Amino acid sequence: MQIYKLDGNTIDVVSCPPRDVRKGDYVLVKDDALNRSLIVQVTNIGYANVPGVLEDILRDSSAHKIAGRDLDFLDVKAFVDVIKDAKIFRCKVRRAIVEGQISHDVSWTPSRSTSQLCPLTDHEFLELVGSREGRTITLGTTTGGAAVAVGLSTIDGKLNIITGKKGTGKSHLAKLLMLGLIEQGGTCVVFDVNGEYVNLGYSEDRQKAALHDKLLVLSPGKGFKVTLAYTGLGVFMRIISSVLDLPENSAWEIRRIWSSLAKRGGLTLTNLRKSIEGVANSYVRDALIRRYESLISTRLFTDNRQEASTLEDLMARLREGGALVVNLQGLPSRFRHIIVEFMLSKLCSLLDRWVLRALFLFAEEAHLYLRKTYWEDIVTRMRHLGIFSTFVTNQPDSISDSIYRQADNVFLFNFTNENDLAVVSRATMVDVETINVIARELPPHHCLVLGKVVNDFPLIVKIKRLHVNTMGKTRLFFTKPSEQKGLDLHEQPGIRPRGEPLPPPVYSR
């Protein structure tokens, strides 16, 4: 292998005879004269355009039709065949090694004649740039079979984005990260739109898993209800103003009613309705009644203190690590917005009062229930409070550019749409060409990891299997239940076996 051409941070390497190198692999360019090395990544592979090769290929194609023997005493054909197979590796410079240390200084040029180029095995590469932390989460393996573990410090306090086409394994990775954080004592909150997290406490054979008692599933309006007093005026006003679009003049009136009831110690749903019906202005009264009935229809609010819950009590049960799964499956869009508004406001209050040190928020398809104006609030103000978000979506353009610019880690699964890839490329320090070439060819359950978790070295990882009931698989019509049960679900994503349902999850109050 030798350097053929250098253009900016792109190096073209000639390999003759061709080496066994794949897209995404790393090559070390070592210049002994300078006592420096470059770490470059192969992003594309093609054949070397050697003059005369096309003519020789055409000659070989037509020679099969001619009877006779081919006398090649000097074995020239074997040499020409090697030339034909010569390959060009398009590589991107990632880092340099100066005096044995990883360096960002890649402004120097290695010698084209004396530099030594050698492919790095996955184990060698991870040993060189991998995490040195003692507390890690294992994501899976490289394409070469080396285990990939990421340090907790690269996730703690960071903003993560998991994106890719449907059926590629996005939610599977989110569950892996969440369970890994729980095992290390982390506290997580999950907004579960599709009901994929509710059975993570059970193994594949429907037995209780090791982390069963660390997963609390909340079913808003059923097992999870709150009182008006616990909700508080601030949260209540954000819900009816932001989610239910209450006009400002009506908002002023509901503040007055709330304050009056609170002073008398009569802040209940019944008293609130009576006070609203007593409002003189018919337009204001009708507006408040409509919002009140919308809130009542959610069954989230109650006057019965025995069936009411508080986040303080729920979070106290997760002091040693655990996850609060907010099951949003099957809820109307407006109800989801109300729940999320309530949860985020209350969690911020707990963090502000140091009831919680910090927590990890997992938002599945967040664009379905978060207001656009909330995005920046989540990744700036809430981030400083101690809410570290992981967004999971198959619509990367649903996340604003300001969020992408603040992203610390991106887990990119297969995408073929150029517009989607262009959006993701704005979130990373990696060039567009690398993302376009590699992301298009990723098989299911393989992702291109970018960001702090891999020290800004793009890495292809095969996500490991989880031995819990991850759900989230597509139920097929033309496949027999017995056939679906026998499939390896990790290797055949998108297939959900039909069978007896799991025991219903226990909804915490």
- What ranges do the domains of the chain cover? 2-129, 147-224+309-471, 228-298
Q: Which of 207, 208, 175 is nearest to 190 (CA)?
A: 175
| Dist CA 91 CA 85 (whole Å) | 19
Rounded mean pLDDT, 121-132? 83
Eight-class DSSP state of 458: -
Please say if the pLDDT value at position 66 is more than 70: no
For residues 5-29, give the mean pLDDT: 88
Q: Tell which wins on pLDDT, 415 or 377.
A: 415
What pLDDT sits at residue 74? 66
Per-residue pLDDT band for 240 (boundaries 50, 70, 90) equals very high
Lowest mean pLDDT across 217-231, 277-291, 320-334, 492-506 = 492-506
Question: What is the amino acid identity at position 26?
Answer: Y
User: In the CATH hierarchy, which fold is given to the domain comprising 147-224+309-471?
Assistant: Rossmann fold (3.40.50)
| Ranges 72-86, 155-169, 181-195, 437-451: which has the least confidence | 72-86
3-class DSSP state for residue 243?
A: helix
- 307/262 Cα distance (integer angstroms): 21
Is the Cβ–Cβ distance between 91 and 13 less than 8 Å? yes
Percent of the chain with pLDDT over 90: 34
pLDDT on residue 497: 35
Quote the tokens at residue 38: 């470059």
- List the Cα angle 269/508/237 in 5-degree steps: 35
283 or 500, which is more confident: 283
- Give me the mean pLDDT over the 257-272 stretch: 92
User: What does the pLDDT look like over 476-486, one tens digit per residue?
Assistant: 777 766 555 43
Q: Work out the pLDDT band at 324, boundaries 50, 70, 90.
A: very high
Which one, of 204, 195, 219, lies nearest residue 502 by Cα?
A: 204
b/e 180-211 (16+ beta carbons within 10 angstroms → b) = bbbeeebbbbbbbbebbbbbbbbbeeeeebeb
The whole-number pLDDT of residue 301 equals: 93
> Which region, left, alpha or beta, applies to residue 223 given φ > 0 means left and ψ of -120 to 50 means alpha?
alpha
Spatial separation of the C-alpha atoms in residues 339 and 332, rounded to whole Å: 11
360 contacts 158 by C-beta, under 8 angstroms = no
Local confidence band at 375 (pLDDT 50, 70, 90 cut-offs):
low
Give me the DSSP letters along 6-31. EETTEEEEEESSPP---TT-EEEEEE
CB 92 within 8 A of CB 8: no
Looking at the predicted structure, is the pLDDT value of residue 16 above 90?
no
Instruction: State the alpha helices, DSSP H only, in 265-397.
Output: 269-277, 282-298, 311-316, 333-352, 372-379, 381-385
Q: Over 50: is that where the pLDDT of 496 sits?
A: no
Give the pLDDT mean for 190-207. 84
Task: Name the phi and psi angles at 488, rounded to 5.
Answer: -80, 105
pLDDT at 103 over 70: yes
Token match 């100066």: residue? Answer: 98
pLDDT of residue 365: 85
Q: Of the given ranges (46-60, 89-103, 184-198), which has the lowest mean pLDDT?
A: 46-60
Q: How high is the pLDDT of residue 434?
A: 87
Position 382 pLDDT exceeds 80: no
Q: For residue 495, is pLDDT > 70?
A: no
- Per-residue pLDDT at 28: 92
Least confident window among 58-67, 208-217, 432-441, 464-473: 58-67
Burial zone of 86 (CB within 10 Å; 0-12 exposed, 13-18 middle, 19+ buried): middle
CA 19/CA 13 separation, integer angstroms:
11
> E strands of 105-228, at which residues?
116-120, 136-141, 147-151, 160-163, 187-192, 215-218
- What integer pLDDT is reported at residue 502 of this predicted model? 46
Q: How confident is the model at residue 473 (pLDDT cuts 50, 70, 90)?
A: low
Beta partners for residue 323, in sequence order: 188, 215
DSSP state of 224: B
| CA atoms lying within 13 Å on the CB side of residue 447 | 28
pLDDT of the residue at 40? 92
Sequential DSSP letters for 189-222? EEEESSS-STTTTB-TTSSBPTTGGGEEEE-BTT
Kindly indicate the confidence band of residue 82, based on its pLDDT and cuts at 50, 70 and 90.
Answer: confident
For range 205-222, the mean pLDDT = 85
**Angle made by CA atoms 157, 163, 165, in degrees to the nearest 5:** 165
Q: Residue 64's pLDDT band (boundaries 50, 70, 90)?
A: low
Instruction: Compute the distance between CA of residue 479 and CA of residue 430 in angstroms, rounded to an integer.
Output: 42
**Number of Cα atoms under 13 Å in the Cβ half of residue 356:** 29
State the average pLDDT for the chain. 84
Query: Which stretch, 69-73, 82-86, 233-237, has highest mean pLDDT?
Result: 233-237
pTM of the model: 0.85
The residue among 415 and 130 whose pLDDT is bigger is 415
pLDDT for residue 80 is more than 80: no
- On the question of pLDDT at 58 being above 90, the answer is no
Longest dimension (CA), the chain: 110
> What's residue 498's pLDDT?
34
pLDDT at 378: 73
Q: What pLDDT, in 10s, does the model give residues 136-181?
A: 899 999 988 899 999 999 999 899 999 998 888 899 999 999 999 9
How far are the Cα atoms of 22, 220, 434 from residue 326, in angstroms, in the given order? Answer: 42, 8, 37
- Is residue 500 scored above 50 in pLDDT? no
Q: Which pairing describes strands 2-7 and 387-393: parallel, antiparallel, or unpaired?
A: unpaired
Cα first-last separation, the chain? 64
